[in-house]
Structure 1
Amino acid sequence: MPELKVTADHLKRDAYLYVRQSTLRQVAEHGESTQRQYALRERAIVAGWPIERIHVIDRDLGKSGSSSTARDGFQQLVSEVALGKAGIVMGLEVSRLARNSADWHRLIELCALTATLILDEDGIYDPAGFNDRLLLGLKGTMSEAELHILKARMRGGQLNKARRGELEMGPPVGLVYRTDGTIGLDPDAQVQSAIRLVFEMFERTGSAVQTVRFFREQGLQFPRRLRTGANKGDLLWAPPQHSRILQVLHNPRYAGAFVYGRTRTRHRPDGGVSVVKVARVDWQFVMPGMHLGYIDWERFEANQRRLADNAGAFGGERLSGPAREGPALLQGRVLCGLCGERMGVRYSREHSSTVPIYVCQESAVRRAGKICQTVPGKIVDAAVAALMIEMMTPMTLAVSLEVQRELEMRAHETDTARRQHVERLRYDAELARRRYMKVDPDNRLVADSLEAEWNDKLRRHAEAAKDYERRSKQQAATLSAAARQRILGLAEQLPQIWNDARVDFRERKRIVRLLLDDVTLIKAQNITAHVRLSGGATRTLKLERPLPIAQLRKFKPELVATVDRLLDQHCDREIADILNRDGWRTWEGKPFSLKKVAFIRGAYKLASRYDRLRRRGMLTTHEVATRFGIAKTTVYEWGRQGLIRKCYADSLNRGLWQIASETTILKGRGGRRSSPPQATPITAQPPE
């Protein structure tokens, strides 16, 4: 008899009854199984244990037996056995104690070491005995196999329904199950508007970050439906996060498709569960057109390609990336004509401005090789921009009208979303008012709480209404008649607008990306740019390579000749003024100054104005005084009297005098002469 295995040593210790049901639904609906487990106490009483020493552990009701990590009751049972407090462990069957062979054999090992018996519905077993231990091991293996069989059956039925597209899965916000079991759009108009606005803004901006920024700038909110908790199913509205917008854009359910196998669950060693995203090529079932969606499948595919282009990964997954703030017009669209790899962008400073340089460094980065080529972006960007303007000129009127329609549509969408938000808050305030009016006024504990809730709802509604009025006025000013007229003026002002410094670089890049796919660059004697337009057409541009900086800084021969000619009649300062007046500029585009003219004289060894006048016979003040035997002050006095003419004076007060005739000087002095005149040649140059 099995009872013969119970000894006095076993009876000195306590009896433990372990009760478990796999799910809470089984606890609620399968009461008979629970009663059978509690009835095992009678078996312990019959075996000799008093009722007060029979402990029931039922803390694991509603928990699966596949693992012991989350089962506090099972952990308590194992601890009592390990401490030698248990004389017998009871369970209706092995599957109640454990569905995992590792947990089951660990319990058997502990029972064998502490001489603890195990009781189930079939009898009492001594784990220290070989036959009983073998039988218990077989029962544990069968229990684990039974669990796998049950899971396989459930999994097979699940896959069969998924294969037909009939498996019910929680739809994302904006989609709901109807009474007939099909999926449709959420009847809440505000929810629909928010979802549609996400796809519309991503279509316009091409960036999830810009979509989030638009919602933030416009003060718009995005819904989220609670999946768990006491308020399960309720909608919460909050400003959207970048991750939330990405979830919406990546979810194929919004395109009306049934998809199964996007994620997989893995059990961690600590007992938790991690969710792993599966690559799109490994999705098990993809069935487009199964229900109504917010976008079609073609648009979903285009969105995925654009998101892949915007990805920050390095390598083949990254194509062009989103349009950035830098001035490189062809960012992400340039291919190397030598190796075929995509070229990157570097920036340098030139004339106090940032200029791009396209660099092919794939070989240097991946194979420790050399850089293929570097191409100056300022040359290529200007040529491609001119090509874009040439292509867009015939369609500028249509583009202008489309821009106007786009602004009006965007204003209508944002106005609708804000108006719906105000309407929802008004309804919440009205609902709070009705709740407050229905409460007994004497029940102040409830009335005060409902009154505070009503006041809070009224405050939120008033703030939303005020914000709606303010933003509506701003939009009305944006779409005024004057604004429409400016938009229509794009047809004639496109080149000026394109080159306007106030136009953001990202806007130019987006226009370029709409019109061309890529540009292949080859730098040889000249720069060759093969432009591949959207649709397959190609254009080839031949561009001159920029001159080296040494040649750029070199003054033009005609400028040097002009300075040489002007030195005969003018000083350095006067020459600088004449050059600036005639439109001459330095290689940096700056006007000429006295120092620049002096630099040209020194660099090209041109004689100065002073030296030229000396060669023409002009006399210094000292030479005039010596020739006529007078003091220097007398020379200056003659200059003031007009007897001689000062034709040159520099910053050092060095003057050159022109003497027209000695007779004139003698007449001015009354025919007196102090000393014989020296044989200094007198220039016949007429006065300047």
Structure 2
Amino acid sequence: MGWSPEAIDIIDEDQGQSALSAVHRHGFQHLAAEVAAREVGIVLMLEASRLARCGSDWHRLIEICSITRTLIADELAVYDPREPNDRLLLGVKGTLSEAELMTLRTRLYEGRWNKARKGQLARSVPIGYVVDEQGQWAKDPDRQVQARIEYVFALFRRLGVARQVVRVLRDEQLTLPVRLWGGPGHGQLVWKEASAGIVMRLLRNPTYAGVYVYGEWAYDGLDRHPNTGKARPHVRAPEHWPVCLQAHHAGYLTWEAYLANRQRLRQNGFGMMTRGAPRDGAALLQGLVWCGRCGARMGVNTYSARERRKPSYICNRQYHEGAAHTCQSMSAQPIDEVAVALFLEAMAPAQIALSLQVVDDLRAEKHALQQQWEQQLQQARYAAQLAQRQYDAVDPDNRLVAATLERRWNEQLQALQDLEQAYQKAQAEAHFTLTEAEQCDIQRLAHDLPTVWQAPGTTDRERKQLLRFLIAEVQLDGVATAGMIDIRVTWCSGAVTTRRIARLKVGAGAPRTDAHVIARLRDLAPTHPVAQIVEILNAEGLRSAHGRVLREHHVLYLARRHHIEVTTSARLRPKTVKDSH
């Protein structure tokens, strides 16, 4: 058209981006800036929709072109924005372009939702499902995949914490099925080591409950990403999902079980309104304690191991909001003792049925674990046999291919050998069957739940899990009545039990010197000075309240505390060591 290449500036950096808004279109912003700077004589475009599909952006560009005397041209004509007819025609083109976009978006939007409401909108199926010839979702025909997914849900139902599920799978050397995404092996099924991401995707996906869901995320047009301009997603609660078709396909668990798992995962998070997962620590009511004064969740105040102090429950909400002091604080030990006593009392009538159920559950768990190992071994044997058949089918003279297949065969044989050795080790450690003696021991212990509770092998985390099976929350009020703590236990059934206990006095839990040390001090005080008393007591193996070697200041403190007359090494006359205070 007569222009030199240097005089033409091609702007194509907005390709692939929506013309609905110019906020994130750097090419359009560059064009508007060049036109405003009077650096452009004419703007060439294929059609109006290529510049903008937003009326405000389109008319703003026309106004700038009118002021700077810049022409606009498309494949049909050249327009001068200063001419009324051209200005009107450009305005109509911009309006039609915007209306066309709205029509296209409305049709696509309604069509997508119409198919989703019927459960026919194509979506990527998670691991454990395949799409058959009729387009219906069905369980993966690989029974090992089905059994492994069911085993993960059974583990979470028993353990209640996703991280513990991952640890059990890794300890048992059980891998999880995963489909590759992208690359040359796209869609291929592989087995990977268990990870938190894989387990969480299994537990959070409603597809495994036999439900077709669409609209799990809500998008707000006013909240957009600063770089891409796309609307930010926000998670919807299950009761607000626009499309939720139950019994759409065969599920691995029920809808109620999925909602229970989802609620448990939410409660495992450590937040202001969640209990948090059971963890190690002597405070057995961690996550269950609420303040009876302000209604806030009470935290656990722990101390270093050197201090040898029991943890306490503390309410800090008012302090964090600017109050001069905390709401209340109290030692955890006496409160835990009350809760444990109530728990054991409530469990007493069910111990007989519990003993029988425990044996059945253990037998089922061991059988499921053995089944997982056998399926994993069967899959490894098949992979080794397949590699052997591929090696046997190749021409031996074609060494380039035969060498590769031979290497794959050796790798599969080595993997099978390692797996068989691990299986033999698991058999020796896990004992996939219960002996008669073990069954009798389990039933005996189940009849005596207090013994199991106090057993050294029972961890604090396991005790907390047991308490959460029956106790929903515990409210504490240690301020309403001076020197007393009101305890209100709410059970999972909705019943309420109240107790009142006395507060521990200051120093009640402090270490105490053994009574034998005090008695020996009384015997030696009339005839020996302090220095000799210290030597005699240490020679007899007696120690202080903290288990340390006795020194003179220890003996002087004990004498003052118990009103014992002792003779110091510096003076020969006896004297009674009295409290200087």
Which TM bucket (shorter chain)? Answer: 0.7 to 0.9
Retained in 2: the 8 A contact 1:263–1:275? no
Residues 572/168 of structure 1: CA separation in 2 closer, same or farther (3 Å cut)? farther
Tell me: CA distance 1:519–1:264, structure 2 relative to 1, closer, same or farther (3 Å).
closer
**1:312 — aligned with what?**
270
**In structure 2, how many angstroms separate the alpha carbons of the residues matched to 1:411 and 1:154?**
52
Using a 3 Å threshold, how does the CA distance of structure 1 residues 305 and 594 change in structure 2: closer, same or farther?
A: same
Number of corresponding residues = 552
If you compute each CA radius of gyration, which structure gives the higher value, 1 or 2? Answer: 1
The answer as to 2:131 corresponding to 1:177 is yes
Q: Distance in 1 between matches of 2:548 and 2:447?
A: 33
TM-score (norm 2): 0.77
| Mapped pair 1:198 → 2:152 | yes
The answer to whether the 8 Å contact 2:270/2:277 transfers is: no
- Structure 2 matches for 1:426-437, cutoff 5 A? 426-437=381-392
Q: Distance in 2 between matches of 1:212 and 1:97?
A: 53
Per the alignment, residue 636 of structure 1 pairs with none
Look up the equivalent residue of 1:474 and give its one-letter code. E
Question: 2:236 matched to which residue of 1?
Answer: 279
The one of 135, 145, 152 equivalent to 2:106 is 152
Question: Any idea what the Cα deviations from partners look like across 1:171-208, whole Å, max 9, x if unmatched?
Answer: 22223333334333222212212221222111111111
Give the Cα separation in 1 of the matches to 2:234 and 2:50: 34
**Residues 250-265 of structure 1: matches in 2 within 5 Å?**
250-264=204-218
Query: Once the 2 structures are TM-superposed, how far is the Cα of residue 492 of structure 1 from its aligned partner?
Result: 5.4
Cα deviation, residue 509, structure 1: 0.4
Q: Indicate if the aligned counterparts of 1:329 and 1:508 stay in contact, CA closer than 8 A.
A: yes
Q: What pairs up with 1:476-515 in 2 under 5 angstroms?
A: 476=431, 479-491=434-446, 493-515=448-470
Partner Cα separation in structure 1 for residue 509 and residue 261 of structure 2: 49
Is the contact between residue 65 and residue 100 of structure 1 (CA under 8 Å) also seen in structure 2?
yes
Higher relative contact order (CA 8 A, sep 6+): 2
Could you tell me whether the CA contact under 8 Å between 1:174 and 1:186 is conserved in 2?
A: yes
From 200, 212, 216, the equivalent of 2:170 is 216
Mind listing any 5+ residue stretches in structure 2 that lack a counterpart?
573-581
1:417 aligns with 2:344: no
Counterparts of 1:460 and 1:104, CA distance in 2 = 65
Residue 361 of structure 1 pairs with residue 316 of structure 2 = yes
One-letter amino acid of the structure 1 residue matched with residue 255 of structure 2:
W
Unaligned runs of 5+ in 1: 1-9, 15-55, 580-584, 611-649, 655-688
Task: Assess, with a 3 A threshold, how the Cα gap between structure 1 residues 127 and 222 changes in structure 2: closer, same or farther.
Answer: farther
What is the CA-CA distance between 1:98 and the residue it aligns to? 7.1
| Kept after mapping to 1: 8 A contact 2:117/2:243 | yes
Alignment equivalent of 2:409, drawn from 454, 458, 464: 454
User: Structure 1's 167 and 533: CA in aligned 2 closer, same or farther, altered over 3 A?
Assistant: same
Give the structure 2 partner of residue 681 of structure 1.
Answer: none
1:247-396 pair list within 5 angstroms: 247-264=201-218, 268=225, 270-271=227-228, 276-280=233-237, 282-313=240-271, 315=272, 318-348=273-303, 353-396=308-351
Aligned to 1:537: 495
* Matches of 1:274 and 1:219, distance apart in 2: 42
Tell me if 1:125 matches 2:78.
Answer: yes
Match of 2:578 in 1: none
TM-score w.r.t. the length of structure 1 is: 0.66
1:234 aligns with 2:188: yes
Q: 1:567 to 1:12 in 2, by over 3 A?
A: closer
Give me the whole-angstrom Cα distance separating, in 2, the residues matched to 1:461 and 1:392.
Answer: 47
Please tell me whether the aligned partners of residues 129 and 137 of structure 2 are also in contact (alpha carbons under 8 angstroms).
yes
* CA 1:103–1:341: 2 relative to 1, 3 Å: closer
Q: Structure 1 CA distance, aligned partners of 2:18 and 2:549?
A: 89
- Out of 424, 430, 438, the residue aligned to residue 469 of structure 1 is 424
C-alpha separation in 1, matches of 2:15 and 2:307? 75
- SS where residue 490 of structure 2 aligns? strand
Task: Sort the Cα spacing of 1:165 and 1:343 in 2 relative to 1 into closer, same or farther, 3 A.
Answer: same
Q: 1:501 to 1:11 in 2, by over 3 A?
A: same
- Find 1:246's aligned residue among 183, 197, 200: 200
Q: Distance in 2 between matches of 1:446 and 1:74?
A: 55
CA RMSD of aligned residues (A): 5.1
Structure-2 separation of matches of 1:111 and 1:387:
82
Letter of the aligned partner of 1:429 in structure 2? Answer: A
**C-alpha distance in structure 2 between counterparts of 1:198 and 1:526, whole Å:** 46
Distance 1:592 1:12, change over 3 A: closer
CA contact (8 A) 1:349 1:355 kept: no
